[in-house]
Amino acid sequence: MSQHDHEIKVLNGLIETTIDSVDGYAEAAKDAENAQFRDLFLTRAAERRQVAARLREAVRREGGEPADDGTVLASAHRMFTGLRSSMSHGDKAVIAEVERGEDHIKAKYDEALKDDKLSLSARESIQQAYTSVRQGHDQMSAIKHAVQ
């Protein structure tokens, strides 16, 4: 596998995870009872769409075809959490699920940033995206702890 192939694979994996995050926030917005949380989730979903778009551009710069879907596993998870949230209504449950998703995406970005095979260009693209991911993670963690 060439360096470009490796970078494209890593970037596409992050695109898929980021799309999963967009979808997760959109679902959370539907389930949120509090309008403030709904607006926050929709804002985060839009921000993550922008992150995915920038990562797609990085894949194109590497000569690759960017991913345009999330992961199958995430689709199954959303279906399960949708069922669970319908049984345990409330913003507290929705926020807990969002925060779990944030832990997952942050871990994926942390792992990518430790990859010493990435070029400076790919690493910079990931680092820029990570700024948004980190802010979202920290915000959702704070909200989760505040509503407990």
Instruction: Tell me how far apart the alpha carbons of residues 143 and 7 are, in angstroms, rounded to a whole number.
Output: 34
The CB-side HSE value for 103 (13 A sphere, CA atoms) comes to 9
Residue 16 has which token pair?
């898929």
Alpha-carbon gap, residue 103 to 136, rounded angstroms:
10
Question: Is residue 87's pLDDT more than 50?
Answer: no
- Tell whether the model's pLDDT for residue 72 goes beyond 70: no
pLDDT score, position 2: 76
Rounded CA-CA distance 113/95 in Å is: 27
- In tens, the pLDDT along 97-148 reads 888 889 999 999 999 999 999 999 999 999 999 999 999 999 999 999 998 7
- pTM of the predicted model as reported, rounded to 2 decimal places: 0.87
3-147, superfamily in CATH?
A: Ferritin, core subunit, four-helix bundle (1.20.1260.10)
- Report pLDDT digits (tens) over 11-62: 999 999 999 899 889 988 988 899 999 999 999 999 999 999 999 999 999 9
Q: Which own/partner pairs from 35-43 qualify as long-range (CB within 8 Å, at least 24 positions apart)?
A: 37/91, 37/94, 37/95, 37/143, 41/98
| Confidence at residue 97, expressed as pLDDT on a 0 to 100 scale | 84
* Residue 89's pLDDT band (cuts 50, 70, 90): low
Domain ranges of the chain: 3-147
